Structures are given as C-alpha cells and as structure tokens.
Structure 1
Amino acid sequence: GWDKDLSKKIWCFGPDTTGPNMIVDMCKGVQYLNEIKDSCVAAFQWATKEGVMSEENMRGIKFEVHDVVLHTDSIHRGGGQIIPTCRRVLYASALTAEPRMMEPVFLVEIQAPEGALGGIYSTITQKRGMVIEESQRPGTPIYNIKAYLPVMESFGFTGTLRAATSGQAF
C-alpha cells in the first residue's frame, strides 16, 4: 500500500485530472517549488494527453519529481519557461523507461439466451477476445456477456457472431 504521507504528495492525476497516470512530489527542501507546481501540472496534463510515442494518451505511468533547480529571479520561473521544459523532461523520463504500445480494445456487450453461449465464447476466443463478465438477467433466460475485443479483430465480428449463434446473440 501507499504511505499516508506519500499519498498527500500526489500533485495530480492525468490526463484530464482523472486518468491512470500521476505526478508525485518527492522533493525535500526545494525553494520556490510551490510557484511552479501549477505549471508542472499543466505540463503533466499535456504530456500524458499527447504521449511521447504516438501522441495518444499515456497509461499507467507514475512520474516522481525528486529534485528541481530553479532560477532565483521569478521572471525565469513563469509558465512560459516551466511548461515546455517540464513537458520535455516528462517525455525524456518516459522514453528512458522503455515504453511500449498497447493494443486498442473494445468493450463489447452481448445479450443472448443460454443456448447461444457456446457460440459466443467460441467466437470471442477465435477473435482473441476475453470474457470479463457473464450474468443472467433475473427472471429471464437471457444472459449478458461483457468481453474485451481487440479493435483489429472487430471487423466482421457481428456477422461471425450471428452465424455462430444462429442469429440469437445481439
């Protein structure tokens, strides 16, 4: 788990303040740090929204700020200087962490009677998908299936699914 004091040092999540990335202040005794915090958060939001590899959202990255050296003259600590510099620092740290591309997936929801479940599972497996939830609607013979399906495999999925379930799944 997280240390209680450490959790208080989280500056922001991103992108859009709710994403799966975070920036954490790990500094000790850095002068003027509070003056640049908003600019660093803006750079973090920008960097995580337009990632270093393909200008897509970054995912699952924790940036730790360990040390900052700032000019004593406040004119050199403005957003115009800090935001682009901080963004480049975040990009460089992401690149040194050996980033990787993630395959995009759709969340598919399928509804069908119990007799069609075998066809649904075989179609999802054939298309490299993964079932994450199966539940029966109370009082009905209809099942709800949720699965992740790679976007590349989604082309023709509906037709294949209908053929495998004799048109019972939708």
Structure 2
Amino acid sequence: MRTPHVVVVMGVAGTGKTTIGPLLAARLGVPYAEGDDFHPRANIAKMTAGVPLDDEDRWPWLDAIGAWAHERAGLGGVVSCSALKRSYRDRLRAAAPGVVFVHLIGDRALIEDRMSHRRGHFMPTALLDSQFATLQPLGADEAGVGVDVAGGPEEIAERAVAALDRLPDPAP
C-alpha cells in the first residue's frame, strides 16, 4: 500500500481475524492491535457465558478501537474488530475517517469447523449463528475489500495485501 492506512480486519467470529491481522500488519510494516483486548471485562464475561453482545455493549468497545485507529492515522496500523454492522463501521470511520476494512469471508461450515478446533478463546461456537445474523457485508460505498478465508493464513494474508494494493489512495 502506498499510503499508511489503518486497516480493520473484520468478520464473524472464527474467520481468522486474530491470525490474519498480525500477518497483514507484518507485511504492511505497521503495528497490530488485537480488538478483543479493547473489550470491557463485562463483555468478555457475557460472551463466555454464551450471551451475544448488544449494541449498548459494543459502543464503548468500538469507541476504544476508534481512538486507537485515530492515534494511528497517517502512521498506519492493523486492528481486528468484527465490525459486523454498517453502524459499527460508521462509528469507527467517524473516529478515524481514513480507515479501510478487510472483510474476511468464509463458508459457515468452514468457520464453524475452525472454531470447534481452537482452544482458550472466550467465544463459543454457539454464538456463530448470532454473528451471521448480525453481519452486514461491506457496502459498495465503503472503503474496503473482501477476502476469502479458504486456504492457509499466509495465503489469506497475501490475498489481503494484494486486494488492499488495488484500493485507491485516500484523499489527503
């Protein structure tokens, strides 16, 4: 990418945001921030108990990620964040107008299989349906790209870099 962007790696749980985000950041030569680290403890407890978050739960989390993205404006960075709804992405863009999104997209069966094999993560597979129900894919007017999650992490990260390279530079 020619201009340092702040990239939000988005998608439903289990698409590989935490795996692809650091790989993408390394390829772009910018820092990575794990979106789950911005969640208040109450959010983690709720999800661990199998209860989906509602918008009121998400606003402080999105604001914290938006503040990080704002601080990285012009410097670049990569952060993972599900950003499932347009309103969530709008909130991130309000905080950091130049942010771009990499939407990790995959078949539900593949994602569920990957989730069932991961250990030590608070998000149970039981919440996957609520994630897909909430998901609003990127609109044509949103700065970002969709990247298929089939294949290995290195391959996915390379596809993300190639897709980002095709985006136009943001206005100054």
TM range (shorter): under 0.3
Relative to total residues, which structure has the larger strand share, 1 or 2?
1
| Greater gyration radius | 1
Q: Which has the higher contact order (CA 8 A, sep 6+)?
A: 2
Considering fraction of residues, name the structure with more helix.
2
